[in-house]
Amino acid sequence: MSESCFLWVAVLAHLFAFLLYSTAGRHKPVFYYTISTLTAILSFIAAAVLAIKGKPLIIEVFQITRHVGIAFGLDKITLMFALLCSLLSIPATIYAISYMYAIKGKRKARFFARIHLSLAITMLLAFSGNLLTMFIFYELLTLATYTLVNHDNTENSFRAARIYLAYLVLPSVGLLLPAILITYKITGSFTFDESLHISIVGLPRLALFLMFAYGTAKTAIFPLHGWLPKAMIAPTPVSALLHAVAVVKAGIFCMLKVAKYVFTISDPANVILMTPITCIYAFTIIFASVVALKKHSLKEILAYSTVSQLSYIGITLSIFTENAFNYAILYMVLHAFAKITLFFTAGAMYARTGKTSSKQLHGIGREMPVAMSSFSIGALTMIGLPPTATLLCKADILSEALAQCNYILIVTLVISTALNCGYFLPIIFNAFFCEPIVAPATGNTMTRQKLDPLALSYFFTGSICVVLFIYKFF
């Protein structure tokens, strides 16, 4: 099979599940487990084959001129993002099915169909071969996940979904699209290659970068971060999808592509970008960390943690060196596994005990040791403590920042790490070393046996966090 066949398999596998679920009636769990698991694994295998072959590829689907049209292609960033999304889609879909049955969720087939549609669009975004294609699937991903945020179909979920849509669509139409058109006006190209490099310098260069940065509001830079905590009203599998597999990673992916091809990482003209961009991301990191410190809802803590951690990737990019670019990609991968583990475990604890507040989790480590151990690994990864690879990745980032005399970044990461300890470590300590709080459960409670598939999902992703530490260390 040619590379193009594997590319389409990686996408069409999820589209097949979407179409099947959209037309299917009520079925037993084994039906959903079988379809979702097989399609997710097939998508990952196809992405893995593409990564192993590693050959450049351009597929023109619809062409108007030489540089204008819908196209797909492969490069280092594309393959890394596609591999990450397709791998995490396996535990994400298994978890979604298990969770919805654990809480007796409604409209399951529709929910699973929308999950797979979002994953298919994410894969199409990953394989985008030019800025125009990237923008189209960036927007389609917003629309697809909007329906997931509003899945419960309540007044609160509808309000949150409208905020979600406004925060993501208005900046992309008002800033990202004009930035793409300006880039085309300057370079005469949309294609992700050397022809896309811009030659402008000084303040116009800074303005264009800011248009891209704020236009991709999925990266949740202050003050365009408000959609992310609001979207936490969605079921936990959606939160995991938003934070680790699709939405926020899509924003980071777009900025990585823009930084590499439009601004060219090693271009000396980027020196004007370093200080202002570092300051914007630094403020977002500290602000979100302080807000997380004041929250008690577990999902809100994790939401603001995501806002902070995403800007870790952005602030690393602001160093504008090849090493920093590679560290940003690595941190994106590490964050994905850690954050999905945290949401998986938070959802499992809610499904079993009905508890949603960090104040309610005293002693839960004795009742759910695997879940809380996995949560602890995810939390330690977010902080950057052993045995997690972010410890080593942060050391690399700090070393690169020191070499470039970027002291704002160094101070920011040190302060943020301390704040991360402030809101994660008490949860872990109380869960394992405090007496349980006797209080009536507020949600759906299920038996341990019915949560086994949930445990499989977070045990897998938590274990990967440790494996990545061992791999990077040696």
* DSSP codes, 176-214: IHHHHHHHHHHHS--BSSGGG-----HHHHHHHHHHHHH
Other beta carbons less than 10 A from residue 54's beta carbon: 12
CA distance 309 to 332: 9
In the prediction, which pLDDT does 438 show? 61
Q: What confidence tens digit (pLDDT) does each residue in 110-139 have?
A: 888 999 999 999 999 999 989 999 999 999
Q: Is the pLDDT of residue 168 over 90?
A: yes
In the prediction, which pLDDT does 66 show? 66
Q: What confidence tens digit (pLDDT) does each residue in 383-437 have?
A: 998 888 999 999 999 999 999 989 999 999 999 999 999 999 999 999 888 877 6
**Model confidence, pTM:** 0.90
Tell me: cis bond preceding 276? Omega within 30 of 0 counts. no
Rg (CA), the chain: 21
Q: Whose CA is closest to 31, among 109, 106, 91, 138?
A: 109
Q: Among 58-72, 172-186, 335-349, name the most confident range.
A: 172-186
Q: What confidence tens digit (pLDDT) does each residue in 55-76 have?
A: 777 777 777 776 678 889 888 8
Q: DSSP class of residue 9?
A: H
Domain-wise residue ranges, the chain: 271-438+451-473
Q: Whose CA is closest to 21, among 145, 98, 148, 108?
A: 108
Give 387 or 279, the one with higher predicted confidence: 279
- Band (pLDDT 50/70/90 cuts) for residue 194 is confident
Handedness of CA 217, 213, 190, 332 (dihedral sign): negative
Q: Which two tokens stand for residue 139?
A: 């927007």
Q: What Cα–Cα distance (Å) separates residue 166 from each residue in 160, 225, 226, 379?
A: 10, 12, 10, 31
Handedness of CA 171, 177, 181, 184 (dihedral sign): positive
**Cβ contact 183:171 at 8 Å:** no
Q: Whose CA is closest to 152, among 275, 71, 234, 266?
A: 234
Amino acid letter at 231?
A
**Which of 84-98, 174-188, 443-457 shows the lowest mean pLDDT across its residues?**
443-457
In the prediction, which pLDDT does 78 show? 92
Q: Which two tokens stand for residue 30?
A: 């084994």
Q: Could you write out the DSSP letters of every residue in 252-290?
A: HHHHHHIIIIIS-TT-GGGHHHHHHHHHHHHHHHHHHHH
Q: Which two tokens stand for residue 75?
A: 């490069």
φ, ψ (nearest 5 deg) of residue 61: -90, -45
Q: What confidence tens digit (pLDDT) does each residue in 99-111 have?
A: 888 777 677 888 8
In the prediction, which pLDDT does 442 show? 46
Q: Is the pLDDT of residue 365 over 90?
A: no
In the prediction, which pLDDT does 446 show? 45
**Cβ contact 56:119 at 8 Å:** no
- Band (pLDDT 50/70/90 cuts) for residue 450 is very low
